[in-house]
């Protein structure tokens, strides 16, 4: 549809015939892609903060009640719930991936036409988006039950007793949802940059 | 990196100088894209079956126990848990989106170079991937609690009483994870097709 001509460096024939038409468009496309690549890098930094913050908040969310019986003390920590354990592991994993993905993001800034790196990033981002979303949603479901309980199955709300625990787990869940939004934006921007005609 | 030259129809100058080089590569790229577009359509049909199957299974998962007290009868249905309600609504919504996306998928089969439709699909797929994953994971967390209970918060496993209910909800969760895998494949294939050099 568009009349853009993509001229690789090696094709001297084409460059010889129509250099004035091709060169400026190519330059503009590169600048546009570079802007998206810089945005990608910034979004990644935000996602690192959100995911590692979520993991740290959840991991430090244990609360011990000040009263205890002869036999055991009342304590709630992320270890109590499998969904929260999964959350901590998944978020630490996502944070690690994001840190490792920064060099690839830098490659796309330096070389806006390096589509291999971008393709690798969009595929891995999709996989880690599902990891972020699933761990966040599973933790959210448990947090909801902790807040409200469930009458039909006779599960009592534990947030009346463990208020601080519920607060920090809720915060961690919100932080993971922020990371999720960053991932969706990363994928959308990568898809825009991968587009052939612009 | 590659020496492919993308020649739009309107640039007669370039076509005049190097038609033998450009034409066959363009044709091959179109065929390759068309294959991906057909795969996209088939994956969408699979995802429709998985998501609507998940919604239907979860919506029909109520079980009434054969004994009752004077005051109330023991009954479990997807209405009992907010996560399951969200699951049914989200899965029906995802199924509806997938049906509506089929025409756009057909457009990418007919016109392999129509990148606008593909870009729209990859962005919407990403959004609905998060919806599928979050509803599936939230329901999975509740299903896990229903199977195993939680000792620290004194939540008892209800699957001993409501066996059929647990079975059908577990099946629905698995079906949603199948839909999730389809979505990830859809996004990866769309990203491959969006790539400029091939």
Exposed (0-12), middle (13-18) or buried (19+): which is A99, by Cβ within 10 Å? middle
Q: What is the ipTM of this complex?
A: 0.76
Confidence grade of residue A12 (pLDDT, cut at 50, 70, 90): very low
Place of tokens 């939540």: B155
Rg over alpha carbons for chain A, rounded to the nearest Å, is 24
* Number of CB atoms found within 10 A of residue B139's CB: 30
The DSSP symbol for B156 reads P
Residue B126 has pLDDT above 50, yes or no: yes
CA distance B42 to B182: 10
Per the prediction, chain B carries an average pLDDT of 82
CA distance A16 to B17: 10
Q: What is the pLDDT of residues A22-59, one digit of tens each?
A: 445 555 666 788 888 899 999 999 999 999 999 999 99
Is B41 in contact with B61 (CB distance < 8 Å)? Answer: no
CA-closest candidate to residue A186, choices B141, B69, B191, B73 = B191
CA distance B108 to B95: 20
Predicted local confidence at residue A66, as pLDDT:
67
Backbone phi, psi, residue A61, to 5°: -100, 20
Angle between the N-to-C axes of helices B115-148 and A163-194, in degrees from 0 to 180, rounded to the nearest 10: 160
The domain locations on chain B are 21-59+81-194
Closest-CA distance, B68 to chain A, in angstroms, reads 14
Closest alpha carbon within chain A to B123: A188
Q: What is the pLDDT of residues B24-71, one digit of tens each?
A: 555 566 678 888 889 999 999 999 999 999 999 999 887 777 666 555
Q: Is B4 left (phi over 0), alpha (psi -120 to 50) or beta?
A: beta
CA distance B120 to A130: 20
Which of A115, A137, A166 has the highest number of chain B CBs within 10 A, making it the mutation to test binding with B?
A: A137
Predicted local confidence at residue B18, as pLDDT:
45
* Number of CB atoms found within 10 A of residue B104's CB: 17
Closest-CA distance, B116 to chain A, in angstroms, reads 9
Residue B19 has pLDDT above 60, yes or no: no
Backbone phi, psi, residue A34, to 5°: -65, -40
Per the prediction, chain A carries an average pLDDT of 82
CA distance B107 to A45: 37
Q: Kindly report the CA angle at B171 between B124 and A148, in degrees rounded to 5?
A: 80
Cβ <8 Å between A7 and B11: no
* Cβ-based contacts of B194 with chain A (< 8 Å): 191, 194-196
DSSP alpha helices (H): ranges in chain A? 12-17, 19-59, 82-110, 115-148, 163-194
Is B82 in contact with A143 (CB distance < 8 Å)? Answer: no
User: A62 — contact with chain B (CB < 8 Å)?
Assistant: no
Task: Report A:13-32 residues touching B (Cβ under 8 A).
Answer: 13-14, 17-18, 21
Q: What is the pLDDT of residues B150-174, one digit of tens each?
A: 877 778 888 888 888 889 999 999 9
Of A80-84, A181-185, B66-70, B76-80, minimum mean pLDDT range: B66-70
Strand segments, DSSP code E, in chain B are 63-68, 73-76
Closest-CA distance, B48 to chain A, in angstroms, reads 19
Which of B130, B136, B198 has the highest number of chain A CBs within 10 A, making it the mutation to test binding with A?
A: B130
Q: CB-CB: which of A81, A140, A154 is closest to B138? A: A140
pLDDT over 70 percentage in chain B = 78
User: B12 — contact with chain A (CB < 8 Å)?
Assistant: no
Q: What is the DSSP string of B16-37?
A: HH-HHHHHHHHHHHHHHHHHHH
Confidence grade of residue B77 (pLDDT, cut at 50, 70, 90): confident
Cβ <8 Å between B141 and A142: yes
The DSSP symbol for A67 reads E
Q: What is the number of alpha carbons within 13 Å of residue A44 lying toward its C-beta?
A: 26
Partner residues linked to B150 by β-bridges: B155
Confidence grade of residue B16 (pLDDT, cut at 50, 70, 90): very low
């Amino acid at each position: 549809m568009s009349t853009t001509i993509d001229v690789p460096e090696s094709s001297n024939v084409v460059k010889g015939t129509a250099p004035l038409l091709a060169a400026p468009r190519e330059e503009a496309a590169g600048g546009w892609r570079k802007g998206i690549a810089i945005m990608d890098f910034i979004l990644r930094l935000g996602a690192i903060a959100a995911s590692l913050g979520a993991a740290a908040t959840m991991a430090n969310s244990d609360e011990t009640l000040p009263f205890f019986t002869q036999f055991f003390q009342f304590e709630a920590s992320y270890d109590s719930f499998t969904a929260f354990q999964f959350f901590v592991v998944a978020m630490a994993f996502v944070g690690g991936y994001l840190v490792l993905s920064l060099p690839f993001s830098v490659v796309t800034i330096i070389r806006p036409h390096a589509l291999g790196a971008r393709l690798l990033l969009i595929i891995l981002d999709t996989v880690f988006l599902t990891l972020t979303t699933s761990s966040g949603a599973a933790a959210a479901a448990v947090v909801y039950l902790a807040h409200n309980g469930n009458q039909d199955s006779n599960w009592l709300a534990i947030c009346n007793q463990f208020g601080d625990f519920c607060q920090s787990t809720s915060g961690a869940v919100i932080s993971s949802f922020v990371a999720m939004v960053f991932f969706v934006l990363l994928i959308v921007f990568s898809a825009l940059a991968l587009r052939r005609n612009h």
